[in-house]
Amino acid sequence: MKLRVTEIQRFCMHDGPGIRTTVFLKGCPLRCAWCHNPETQKLKSELIFYPNKCIGCAACKTSCGNGVHVWSETHLIDRVACISCGNCVENCPTSALEICGSEYTVKDVLSIVEKDRVFYSEGGGVTLSGGEPFVQGDSVIELLRACKEAGLSTAVETCGYADPCVLREAVKFVDLFLWDIKDTDDKRHKQYTGVSNKKILENLSVINELGARIRLRCILVNGVNTDKTHYKELAVIAKKINNFDRLELIPYHAYGGTKSVFLGFADSGRVEWIPTEQQIQEAKMILRSEGVNVI
């Protein structure tokens, strides 16, 4: 069973307790307008191109059988013709080209995760993120099981839009869910993520009933969900969780937009969406006044 992974990042400090190794998995059922990791949306592997690293040596052109790399003043990429074979990546001297989404076995992932085992004291361990890890349901369950068998602490960052059967199974192997609530207003949720939040909230009750430890992660997008009603709704949700860890506010940043450019799309970053320090403090204050432990 294979996993499609975009990146395995060591020494992560913001994906759960302690020092963690975060496995970014490819594929997501949501299409959030503010996506921070656009390279993880599609399940299939993709070619990434960093124009700032390109020195125009054309080694890619020479090595490509499909005519993907074209020069017309600048280096252009024919995304339709590209089959993500990786030949150009092998020959690019500057690493300006990358295949995002290589296949890993559970064993491959574990061998990387194991490297930092000595640093996993103080509650550290492995975090699965993405993308939406549960898109690769069976493989992800197998990976989680293997991690637990190896005695590693596990966390999964999920948008919650997943098959409830997979989630029920996952609860057995996940020490901490990092559960995203993008918006409590369903109309806006549909508008900005492409799906309703109903299934996400139902799934949250499912794992809550099973006793899962849950940390809520809530993105803050200026002008979209920076309203008091949303914060109060978040507090209602948080307070229903039996094994509640804390709520983390994730201020929107525009770097995700730059990443879309590397994938061949327009820059989707919107500076006006970055919340102000005042908005962040207000959100924290309201949540705290509702009795929610918020970071």
Residue 81 touching another protein (CB under 8 A): no
- Alpha carbon distances (Å) from 155 to 119, 130, 134, 286: 16, 12, 13, 27
The only residue of 27, 38, 124, 130 in contact with another protein, by rule CB under 8 A: 124
The only residue of 11, 67, 187, 240 in contact with another protein, by rule CB under 8 A: 11
Distance, in Å, from the CA atom of 267 to the CA atom of 262, rounded to the nearest integer, reads 9
Distance, in Å, from the CA atom of 233 to the CA atom of 219, rounded to the nearest integer, reads 14
Q: Which is nearer to another protein, 60 or 241 (CB)?
A: 60
Q: Which is nearer to another protein, 112 or 171 (CB)?
A: 112
3-state secondary structure of 182: coil
User: Where in 90-109 is the site for another protein (CB under 8 A)?
Assistant: 93-95
Q: By CB under 8 A, which span of 110-118, 200-208, 212-220, 264-272 interacts with another protein?
A: 110-118
Backbone φ and ψ for 148, nearest 5 degrees, come out as -65, -40
Residue 295 touching another protein (CB under 8 A): yes
Q: By CB under 8 A, which span of 116-124, 127-135, 141-149, 168-176 interacts with another protein?
A: 116-124
Q: By CB under 8 A, which span of 118-126, 130-138, 215-223, 256-264 interacts with another protein?
A: 118-126
Contact indicator for 24, 15 with CB cutoff of 8 Å: no
Q: By CB under 8 A, which span of 55-63, 204-212, 219-227, 263-271 interacts with another protein?
A: 55-63
The only residue of 1, 2, 14, 62 in contact with another protein, by rule CB under 8 A: 14
Residue 288 touching another protein (CB under 8 A): no
Which two tokens mark 83? 């089959």
Q: Which residues bind another protein (CB under 8 A)?
A: 9-11, 13-14, 17-19, 55, 57, 59, 93-95, 115-116, 118-124, 295
